[in-house]
Each structure stands twice: as structure tokens, then as C-alpha cells.
Structure 1
Amino acid sequence: MAEQAAHASAKRTRAVFGADVVEYPSVNIDSPRIATRIHQEYSRVQELPPALAAKMATAASTAAEKRRKIKNANAEEQASDPKMRKMIEASTEKVEKSREAQSMALTLRAGKGAAPNAHGPTPTRDTPSSALVRKDTVRQARPEWHAPWKVMRVISGHMGWVRSLAVEPDNQWFASGSADRTIKIWDLGSGTLKLTLTGHISAVRGLAVSPRHPYLFSCGEDKMVKCWDLETNKVIRHYHGHLSGVYSLSLHPTLDVLVTGGRDGARVWDMRTRTNIHVLSGHKGAVSDVKCQEADPQIITGSMDSTIRLWDLAANKTMAVLTHHKKAVRSLTLHPTEFTFGSASAQSIKQFKCPEGAFMQNFTGHNAIINTLSVNEDNVLFSGGDDGSVSFWDWKTGHRFQATDSIAQPGSLEAEAGVMCSTFERTGLRLITGESDKSIKIWKADENATEETHPLEWKPTLGRRKF
């Protein structure tokens, strides 16, 4: 009964809607309902209206006529000279061939033919290819061999931490400033005390000997910047202006200009008239170290706000701000012959290129708070840590060829083994360090060491260098 009722209903539906049902042979449609909907909705637009069809035909004939006219005009405007006509035809053929040869491939192979490994890896292994392959890191240069350094003399005499050192230009003596508020002059060859200068009322943090005048400059945590006449051993000038402790001091090599840095920023002074020429404002923390050089940037400052600034001295403006360090920059050093400089912070030593301050490389491995850096002409970089650890590096490649600890003097606490300041004397053959066990140590390279007795322990690394 159910089948008969369904059959009767289907017949009745067919009879009612049969006129609307249309067969579409090109479309595989089983349901008459879909075919009916297509007929009802799209039957009126299956063919263009007569007016629109006539307009389309006219437009097509007009376009064909235009193309024919352009072709005839080009044929008429051909060069009269047959040689010129041949040259034009040859150039058009080349252009058409180059267009045909253009490919949408992502890479172009150096040679024509099959892909490098089309027939297996072995036969075409050495086939050159310019495929997009990640290139290997730059091959590392082999470091230069340097003899290990050792302590040759320990000088005692200060009653506090030795915070600053300076060697005079003739290389006869050096000065040391200490937390005992004194400046002592020592004979470089014998290590004997020649003179003690008193006048500061707090730790002496910076020293500099002028190469063009008989002057010694000093600065300290007592806000004072003093100029000492080395002929009379007396203070002849005070530079008043700093509102807090002064941590660093540097002389310009060619101008009569003195630059100091401290808790309230950096200042530029006229050496003769004692006037404050510039206030180098920009750092958000204390200026821990200042360096001067002849060429731009003439002033480089490192700060506890973990930035390094390169200054335009004439315009009193910042040329560049280097933000590579993550922690406070405690020390700077200028290479004596190259146009480069190094900077140190906790567990980080970096090398930069002047004048723009481009980053060059990292010196990794000295895991301490690094208080001081020094470099000599033989490309030996020294770094001294707050825990007494010292490292010697190859300046060119960043290879650490020696790592040792400075031994605190008998009677000192273990915590007093710390290197606070350092400098190479003028020849670069002796290193002077000031330490928190109140001693001054003089280091020299081991004269008996050779490449056979102390081989270079170096292996190239494949890892990418981190900034």
C-alpha cells in the first residue's frame, strides 16, 4: 500500500510540475528538484539579449579593424635602409626569445640540464648549483699564538683598594690612586716608591698623566678634579662642577681638554681656564668610564645604564648609542693602533669598530663582574674580574689563551682577591694591575714559553655567534 501511494504521489507531482522540469545533459543532476530550480532561476539569462549581442559583435569587429590598421602602419614605417631593417628585426627577435626563455622558477641553476641530483646523489654530487641553501657560518680565523703571562713583581704600600693607575709618557714611572685617599708615584723598573701625594679626602678613582705638559690629573669620590704640577708636586688647579663622585678621567691627545665622568654624568673641561665647556647629558646612570681619542668619536663613555655613547665633541651631541650590553658597562679600552675599542660588563666583553660603533665580536668565557680591560699593540687583551679572576685574550679572534686567578696577599681575606684597575705600560711588555688586597702587581709574558711548550688550545666552533 505504501509503495502504491508513493508511486501515485510521484505521478501527480510529475503531472503538476512537468512543464518546469528541464533536462541538462551536460550536468549530472539526478534530482529533478535541482534541475527545476536551475531552470526557474537562470533560464532568462542563458542567452544575451539581442541588443547586447549586436553590440558585442560590433566591438569585436572594431578591435580587429584597429589591429589590422596598426599592422599596416608598422609595415609602412619600416626603415628604408635594408641593413637597418635587418638590425631592427634581429633585436626584436632577441627580445621575443628572451621573453620566451624567462622562467618563473625560484632558483636558476648555474648550468643547463638536469637537476644536480636527478640521477642519484653520487654522479652529480659536485655539480655547482645556486639553490637556496643556508650557507655555512664564516670560517673562523686561527688565533695568533701568545705567550702566557705571569706575575713578576708585587708592590705593597697602599692602605686601601688600588682604584686607578696611569703610566707617564716616558715610561719611567707610574702613578696609583687608592681608597686610602693618596696618590703614590712608583719607579717602573724597580717598583720603589718615589713620592706620595695627599689632598683628596676620598678614594682616588681616576688618574691621567699629560703627554704634553708636566701635569698629573686626578679625580675621586670627593667630587674633586685636581691638576698636579709635577715640578712642584702641588695642586695648581681645581675643576669645580661635579655634584657627586667622579669615577673616571681622560685627557684628549691633541686638545687642551679634560673629560671626566661620574655619578652626575660626563663633563668636558678646558684644561687651562678650568671652565666647564660641555655637560654630556644623555646617560641615565653613572658614567663609569671615559675614553678620548683624536678622531671621531673623540669621546666614548660607558655607563651603569648598560649603554655606550659616542659623542661629537664640537656639537656636544651623541653620535651613536650602543645598547648591546645587558648590564652595567664598567670599563672601556681603546686599541693603541687599530680604530677599535672594547667594553666590559658583568660576564660580557664586546668589541666595536669606530667611528660608527659597529659590533665586531664577543669575548665569551669570563664569568665574573669585569672591572677593567686593557689591550696592547701585540693584540693581547686583559680582563680583570671582581672575584680575582683574570683572562688574557687574542684581540683579533676573541680566543682566550689564558685564564687564571690573582692570588690575594698573605693576611688578606679571600673576598679581597679582586682586580680593580689595569694598564699596560708604553711598550706593552708589562701589565700593571691594582687590586683590592691593597697591592699592585706587575705581569710579564713568559720569556721561555714557545709554541711547543705551550701549544695553542683552540678548536673552531660551528655555532653562530650571538650578539
Structure 2
Amino acid sequence: MNEEVQRHSVHTLVFRSLKRSHDMFLSNQGLLPAVDEKAEMIRRLIKARDSYGLVFDDLKKMEAMKQLQAVEAGPNPPPPGTVDGDAPNANENTIVPYTDTSLTQKSLTNQNNSQNQITNMMRKAPAMPKPKWHPPWKLTRVISGHLGWVRCVAVEPGNDWFATGAADRIIKIWDLASGQLKVSLTGHVSTVRGLAVSARHPYLFSCGEDRQVKCWDLEYNKVIRHYHGHLSAVYSLALHPTIDVLITAGRDSTARVWDMRTKANVHTLQGHTHTVASVICQAGEPQVITGSHDTTIRLWDLAAGKSICTLTNHKKSVRDLVFHPTLNMFASGSPDNIKQWKCPNGKFIQNLSGHNAIVNCLAVNPEGVLVSGGDNGTLFFWDWRTGYNFQRLQAPVQPGSMDSEAGIFSMIFDQSGSRLITTEADKTIKIYKEDETATEETHPINWKPDILKRRKY
């Protein structure tokens, strides 16, 4: 009995509450503002455009195509069974359609506009531009002397000599013209992974897997400064062209900015989540760019020591970066492909696909020849502007070494851009030059303009 009473009282309360709410909203309904029909119509149009905009665009294109086909086909003949007004058996009961000249002019104008739109669309169709002709490259010299994998190379600004660092812990300086050994520098206790020669001072900078960064005075061939701070192997270094600043990067996922003279760690550029394999530096913005095994490229503000933006287009580790010597652009190399970017915002330009290997290193000269070196000893030569692959080479393995020791670890053009120096896993240094006897007739460009260049993102 008590349960029935309680249930009845609960139902009564709920009913009263609903009635009170209903009466309250009903009484307030007259106070609401009137519906603005114009605003409501605009809202519906925006919503329809947002939801079905692509469908509307497709419909417009289809209508434009139909109108263009109708214009090209000409006036339609009268259907069979109808009587022409000029025929002899025409009478007064013949139905003559009403034609408005203004409407006819309007329809013709619309047809002309749609025809122009379609013509513009056809003009914008992507076509592969004709690549510039480059002479083929050939191997001219093989230099032996290191007792381990040759991991890095740097050319002196005067173009007289170049330096190489290897797994035998020695830095060797070679005469560029003759290929003769000039000096061997010892001091590292592990593999030398990065070298840079200053254009403003008689200094050579080196870094290695022993976590050391050294500054060598080339007048005395001695180490005069050490830069301590990296927690693991240092894989890459770069010099700022106008400021006395050194940037190093390595396996501790950071890039560090050093004051060259005071040895102070000015900035620690943090943000990467894996080994930083490459760092490059320039005077313009962005001043520092790093590529990492976490598949990202970061552009840094050197003054603030902060990341400006992160490029995530690569799907595999970024092994090397290189600036174009004359254009405000750079390229990145990875096992998935090579990508070109525009500074200062890192705008993606194009993919260079086809080098099906782990791309360890890149080099580019002022003539627009981009070279990529793979871990299987392959060299691919590309035209920078069009991304056309005009030559492929397989580096010959040094006699006595294994076939597997065919990897190319680093490469650089000399200051003139006419000689390419590569350092390899067969413990040799190879120098390539352009074939002076080649012409456009002997080595034509295999260019097919009807094949459209597809962009892969």
C-alpha cells in the first residue's frame, strides 16, 4: 500500500514539474525575437556550400563541358515530323516559338565564359618541363691511404686541398690537384664523423664518435680548443659563414651551438626524438636546419635558439641535407626519396624518386647538378630544376675489399663545382669529373614531354 502511494506521489511531482516547465517556456515564447529570413537563408547557403561545395563545383564543370560540346556541335536540326515555317505547306496554325534577344545574348556570353574557363583549365595541366642538358660524369682518380671506412670530407675555401676523416681515427689532408697526402692528424680516439674548414680563420673543425669536437690550428697542425657537452657520438658539424659560431649534432638527439673562441655552449637545440644525422648552416633565414632519424627536418631560429617549424614529409630517417649554392633552397635525402624545399618557410617543392637505396649523402653544384650517394655504391645525378635523373653510376669496388663494402658515406663538390669527391666503405676516396668529350648528340636527354610528372606527397 505504501509503495503505491509513493509511486503515485512521484508521478504527480514529475507531472507538475513538466507542466511548470512547459508553461514557463510557453509564456516566454512571445518574448523571443522574430526570425530574420535573410539571415536564415544566408546560414542555409553557407551550410550547403560547406557540406556540398565539391559537388557544386563538379556540377558546374559538367554543365560547362556540355555547353562547350553544344557550341562545337552547332545548331540542332528540326526533329522529324515538324514543319518548317518557310515550307510551302506551312499554315497559320504553325506554332512559332517566342525568342528573346537579350536571353540569347546572355546564353552566348555564358557559353563563351565556360569555354574560356575550360581552356584555362587545360592550359594549367601539369607538364614536365624540358631538363637542362648536363655532361655525364666519369671516375678520374681513386685515392687510397685510410685503414677504415672513410666517413667525411671537407674542401678548403682556397680549393688547394681537402680533408677526410675515417674509422681509423685519423684525419688526412690531400692535395686536390695531385691527390698526394700532405698531412695526417691524430688525436681522435674513435671514428671521425664530421669535418669543416673555416673560410675566415686557419682552423679545421672535427667531430667523432668519441663525443669530442676539436678545433685544429692549421698553421701548427695541433688541437687548440675542445668543445665539451655532447652526451654521445657527434655525427655532423657546420660553420656559420659570417658569425664565429659552430653547430654540432649527434646521437644525443640535440644540436649544440658553440662560440668558436670562448668554447661556450650558446644554445642547445632540443626537439628531435632520435639521432640528428645532419646539420647545415647559412647566413640567411633559416640559419640552421637539422635532419634526424626521427624522420623530421627542423628549421631553427639561431638568435632565439628555438625551432621555427618542423617538416614531417619524410617517412624514413633523414640522412643528409644540402643547400643549393645560388638558390634559396635545400634538399634532403632519405631511404624513401629525395625532397626539395624552399627557404625560409620550408615550402615543399618536389620529390626526386628512383634512387632505391638508403641515400647517405647529397651534393649540389652551381650548375644545378644534384648528386645522391647510396649505401650500395650507386651514384645518381639529377637536374635540380626538373628532378630529371640524367645519369646513374655504380662506383667500382677497390680490389681486395668485399662487394658489400660499396657504400658511399659522404660527398662534396670542390669550390669550382667541376670535381666531385666521394668517400666510401672500401676505404678509398674517389674523384669524378665531367666528360669533356660528351655532347648533346652523343648523350641525348631521354625526355618524353607527353608523360606528366606526378607529384607524390
Scaled to the shorter chain, the TM-score interval is 0.7 to 0.9
1:309 aligns with 2:261: no
Change (3 A) 1:120 1:416: same
**CA displacement 1:247-299 (0-9 Å, x = unmatched):** 00000000000000001111000000000000000000110000000011000
Query: For residue 343 of structure 2, what is the aligned residue in structure 1?
Result: 354
Change (3 A) 1:138 1:437: same
Q: Give the paired residue count.
A: 362
**Higher alpha-carbon Rg:** 1
Contact 1:302 1:330 in 2 (8 A): yes
TM-superposed deviation, 1:129: 4.2
Contact 1:109 1:129 in 2 (8 A): no
Residue 436 of structure 2 aligns to which amino acid in structure 1? E
**CA displacement 1:168-225 (0-9 Å, x = unmatched):** 0100000000010000000000000000000000110000000000000000000000
Query: For residue 261 of structure 2, what is the aligned residue in structure 1?
Result: 272
Partner of residue 446 from structure 1, selected from 411, 435, 442: 435
Alignment partners' CA distance in 2, 1:121 and 1:464: 34
Contact 1:109 1:131 in 2 (8 A): no
Alignment partners' CA distance in 2, 1:325 and 1:242: 26
Contact 1:258 1:270 in 2 (8 A): yes
Partner of residue 419 from structure 2, selected from 398, 418, 430: 430
Contact 2:207 2:235 in 1 (8 A): yes
Partner of residue 117 from structure 2, selected from 130, 151, 160: 130
1:459 aligns with 2:411: no
Segments of 4+ in structure 1 off by > 3 A? 104-111, 119-127, 131-137
Residue 130 of structure 1 aligns to which amino acid in structure 2? Q
Alignment partners' CA distance in 1, 2:414 and 2:120: 50
Alignment partners' CA distance in 1, 2:350 and 2:269: 28
Change (3 A) 1:404 1:121: farther
Query: For residue 331 of structure 1, what is the aligned residue in structure 2?
Result: 320
Alignment partners' CA distance in 2, 1:370 and 1:304: 13
Query: For residue 213 of structure 1, what is the aligned residue in structure 2?
Result: 201
Residue 263 of structure 1 aligns to which amino acid in structure 2? R
Query: For residue 227 of structure 1, what is the aligned residue in structure 2?
Result: 215
Give secondary structure in 2 for the equivalent of 1:411. coil
Change (3 A) 1:153 1:282: same
Residue 428 of structure 2 aligns to which amino acid in structure 1? S
Change (3 A) 1:133 1:449: closer
Alignment partners' CA distance in 1, 2:70 and 2:351: 43
Which aligned pairs between 1:45-444 and structure 2 lie closer than 5 A?
107=60, 115-118=67-70, 121=73, 128-130=115-117, 135=122, 137-264=125-252, 265-444=254-433
Change (3 A) 1:350 1:275: same
Alignment partners' CA distance in 2, 1:451 and 1:122: 49
Alignment partners' CA distance in 2, 1:108 and 1:335: 41
TM-superposed deviation, 1:128: 2.5
Give secondary structure in 2 for the equivalent of 1:421. strand
Change (3 A) 1:464 1:214: same
Alignment partners' CA distance in 2, 1:158 and 1:440: 9
TM-superposed deviation, 1:404: 1.6
Which aligned pairs between 1:6-17 and structure 2 lie closer than 5 A?
none
Consecutive unaligned residues of structure 1, counting only runs of 5 or more, are 1-103
Alignment partners' CA distance in 1, 2:432 and 2:211: 32
Given the two structures, how large is their TM-score scaled by the length of structure 2? Answer: 0.76
Query: For residue 82 of structure 1, what is the aligned residue in structure 2?
Result: none
Consecutive unaligned residues of structure 2, counting only runs of 5 or more, are 1-55, 76-107
Alignment partners' CA distance in 2, 1:285 and 1:293: 23
Change (3 A) 1:284 1:108: closer
> Cα RMSD over matched residues?
2.4
Give secondary structure in 2 for the equivalent of 1:118. helix
Alignment partners' CA distance in 2, 1:162 and 1:276: 29
Alignment partners' CA distance in 1, 2:388 and 2:126: 16
Given the two structures, how large is their TM-score scaled by the length of structure 1? Answer: 0.74
Residue 362 of structure 2 aligns to which amino acid in structure 1? L
Of all paired residues, the percent bearing the same amino acid is 60
